[in-house]
Structure 1
Amino acid sequence: MSTLAPPVRRTLALTKANARLLVRNRTTFLYALVMPLVPMVIVFASGGASDAAGANAVTSVLLMAVLFPVFYNVLSQVVTRRDELVLKRLRTGEVTDREIALSIALPGVAIALAVAVVTVPVSLVAGLPLPSNPAVYLLGALVSSVVFAALAFWTAAWTRNAEAGQMTSVPVMVLAVAGTLVAAVPDRVAQVLEATPGGAMYELVRTGWYGAGGVGDAVEPLVVLAAWGVVAVSLARRSMRWEPRV
């Protein structure tokens, strides 16, 4: 007899099913697994370069990991299964809305965290140092994954169909990628970009990987990410659609 509580068993069962569907969908799986690996070329190119270049390279890898396995994958799954009435049918049983949402997000989050871990030995081979504060680095990857999963659920609420997701995902992607420009823009602009999810991720990588400013400097970017997470979850809960848009 299983010792897991019923909600945990249901969530794990749905998560396994969603993971299998992710693997079977070649296009989605390609985006989820291959895209985060592409920026690792940047990591090799930045070997032995400045701390800023190394941090930017690692941040690019993490951004691809949270944008494709997490954000775009969750957005695509929610919209597709909503339109196929899968979400509606799930809600007629014992499964709660929270369990459904978690089971959709967890496979992508697991891939993102795996990419974050794999980036460490790859970076070492490329000539970058080991993370000086690995806990900060991994915590940043986890919190970022949660934030972009929540943003995906919110984006799905106003995405008419799976094809439209290619357009509705653009604002969030721009918001994320803009943060990687922190080291290349004037200070006033950098201060604005640091308030974006991508900018906060960059600062966490600098602190977690290079120890820039000490562990205390990780508090501000973590607060920024947490704030984005609270806003995204609130928006998603208020606007989430479980049935097809009319």
Structure 2
Amino acid sequence: MTTTPVIEVEQLNVRYGDFHAVKDLSFQVRRGELYALLGTNGAGKTSTLETIEGHRQATSGRVRVFGTSPGDRRAVRPRMGIMLQESGFSPDLTVRESVRLIGSLTRRTDDADRVLDVVGLTRKAGTLVGQLSGGEKRRLDFATAVYGTPELIFLDEPTTGLDIQSRDALWESVDRLRENGSTVVLTTHYLEEAQERADRIGLMHQGRLPPGGHCRRADPDAARGDPVLAASGCAGGSADRHKSRRVAAHRDVRPAEGHVPAARLGARPRCRAQRPVSRSDPARRRVPCHRPYFRWELTMIAIARTELIQLFRNRLLLVTSLIMPAVVSGFFVYRHDAFATLGSLGYIAAVVMFTVGAFGLYTTAVTTLAARRQNLFLKRLRSTAASDSGILAGLLLPVTLLAVVQLTVVLTVLATVAGGPSNVFLLVVAVLATVAMMVGLGLATAGLTNSPEHAQVTTLPISLGVIAVSSWVGLSGTEELTLLKRLLPGGSATELVLNAWNGGAAVSESLLLLAPTLSWVVVAVALAIRMFRWEPRR
């Protein structure tokens, strides 16, 4: 029998500027128990929970989950299921697609249809998440949290918006998970719910657990007078458990003799570990089935696939990312004789490249990231075992590939009707460098953008700016104001396209023009690291 805590919190402090949200908080959660953390709004519950989940950095103190820092997502998240306070799902994905995506990113194995059947959403499996009711979204949230039967489950206000029948079904599922060995951490505003279900209750007030802040059972009469500092109701409270409780909090929770097997109850049977979970836990207990090696590219491909689906379901985004750049580029190609007299074929190629890059790639990338942040989908993805780089790569891969495909098609058509480039290699290099620059600028701009609507404003300076610089350089050349034109974003890339299409410049000299463009990539990535936000501003 193990006594190692699943969660250890020691002297935790969380600050937001001058506001001290959590103050010297210390507590433990033992294996197999249901621990409830209660408190009024602003008591510090959410900050505490997000720090334990790994969504937030502690200002000071020590937090360990399974003996590991919660920031080590690769080690911790496959064993952890998180039900967020808000749904955090993309409205353009179906219920089944959402469960499959989030489930696959947890590195646990399960069947999406089985999980949907457990939470009563089988008939809604093909429905878009945006068409679900509030209660149905909560059940979907619960489905992703319990996918693959994790060892540790966080339930943040799990029954908010649920009807009585759905609440009972949810708690029956929690009971089955506990019988199968899971540990549960609960936050709720329903004090009676915590009293009936929890093995221990922590009462937070102003960022602290005051003396007597842990109890076995809250007194509802005392709690109505002061729902947080109900110390008198906690001290010496009855330790009677809810009728479905099978064992005491300090013991490992295992299926009792004669219980129906977990698989028949709807909780997925777990795999047997090949070795102990840790040296301090010598018992061979059951652990969730999960993929020990979930490669970065698999994360990227799983997210990219759903992003591509969402792109083609969102008609407005489809217009801005595909149709509008294609129409503008087609106009330049159609009138290539007129534009060639103003500049050259290289000028047309450069303007087309930056039109697609600005509207088809840059604006779409910023809009996508802002939308995913606003509906908390970014936070949902980060609640899995996926890495930050894998998430961002998966989100941006579809729009990047579509932009490259558009450029390839348009430039091929231009070469067919008007004559091809003198150096295809230099043209390819220029296109790839421009794509990298626009992606980097998109990441940086997304940090300043609060919503998809706001993106229409924040992206205008860069979008119009690079097209203007491209036109300026393409029409006037770089004989005058050479340094200024090359240092502006898009200037050196435009000159590289002119050299590639029109010829007349040495390859070695042309490749030196990559330096300013790649410098903009470095600057943009540095700004993105500093400014990019995974959650909306509070």
How does the TM-score come out when normalised to structure 2? 0.43
The answer to whether the aligner puts 1:132 opposite 2:419 as a matched pair is: no
The answer to whether the aligner puts 1:15 opposite 2:304 as a matched pair is: yes
1:48-97, Cα deviation, whole Å (9 max, x unpaired): 83593211211111112111221111101111110111101111111111
Alignment correspondent of 2:401: 110
- Pick from 118, 140, 154 the counterpart of residue 444 of structure 2: 154
Deviating more after overlay: 232-241 vs 201-210? 201-210
Letter aligned with residue 427 of structure 2: Y
1:183-204, Cα deviation, whole Å (9 max, x unpaired): 4448444541222232122112
Alignment correspondent of 1:144: 434
Quick check: 1:120–1:131 contact (8 Å CA) kept in 2? Answer: no
Quick check: 1:109–1:145 contact (8 Å CA) kept in 2? Answer: yes
CA RMSD, Structure 1 to Structure 2 (Å) = 2.2
Alignment correspondent of 1:202: 494
- Pick from 15, 30, 37 the counterpart of residue 319 of structure 2: 30
Alignment correspondent of 1:220: 512
Moved over 6 A (4+): none
Structure with bigger gyration radius:
2
Quick check: 2:342–2:475 contact (8 Å CA) kept in 1? Answer: no
Secondary structure of the corresponding residue to residue 98 of structure 1: helix
Distance 2:408 2:458 in 1: 30
Distance 1:132 1:113 in 2: 20
The answer to whether the aligner puts 1:76 opposite 2:367 as a matched pair is: yes
Letter aligned with residue 447 of structure 2: A
1:117-136, Cα deviation, whole Å (9 max, x unpaired): 21233113432x21221122
Deviating more after overlay: 212-221 vs 71-80? 212-221
Secondary structure of the corresponding residue to residue 167 of structure 1: helix
Aligned residues between the structures = 243
Letter aligned with residue 157 of structure 1: G
Distance 1:7 1:168 in 2: 31
Deviating more after overlay: 20-29 vs 39-48? 39-48
1:13-68, Cα deviation, whole Å (9 max, x unpaired): 11111111111111111111122222232233223835932112111111121112
Distance 1:120 1:195 in 2: 25
Change beyond 3 A, Cα 1:174–1:35: same
Deviating more after overlay: 116-125 vs 12-21? 116-125
Secondary structure of the corresponding residue to residue 343 of structure 2: helix
Percentage of identical aligned residues? 27
Secondary structure of the corresponding residue to residue 352 of structure 2: helix
Letter aligned with residue 31 of structure 1: T
Quick check: 1:88–1:243 contact (8 Å CA) kept in 2? Answer: yes
Letter aligned with residue 168 of structure 1: T
Alignment correspondent of 1:61: 352
Change beyond 3 A, Cα 1:35–1:214: farther
Change beyond 3 A, Cα 1:150–1:159: same
Distance 1:218 1:107 in 2: 30
Alignment correspondent of 1:89: 380
Deviating more after overlay: 217-226 vs 188-197? 188-197
Stretches of structure 1 that go unaligned for 5 or more consecutive residues are none
Letter aligned with residue 40 of structure 1: G
Deviating more after overlay: 185-194 vs 144-153? 185-194
Distance 1:116 1:223 in 2: 22
Letter aligned with residue 319 of structure 2: L
Q: Return the structure number with greater helix share.
A: 1
Distance 2:501 2:325 in 1: 18
Change beyond 3 A, Cα 1:237–1:188: same
Letter aligned with residue 424 of structure 2: P
Distance 1:85 1:227 in 2: 32
Quick check: 1:182–1:190 contact (8 Å CA) kept in 2? Answer: no
Letter aligned with residue 131 of structure 1: P
Letter aligned with residue 7 of structure 1: W
Change beyond 3 A, Cα 1:244–1:20: same
Relative contact order, higher structure (CA 8 A, sep 6+): 1
Change beyond 3 A, Cα 1:121–1:158: closer
1:154-182, Cα deviation, whole Å (9 max, x unpaired): 11111122211111112212331222211
Letter aligned with residue 395 of structure 2: I
Stretches of structure 2 that go unaligned for 5 or more consecutive residues are 1-292
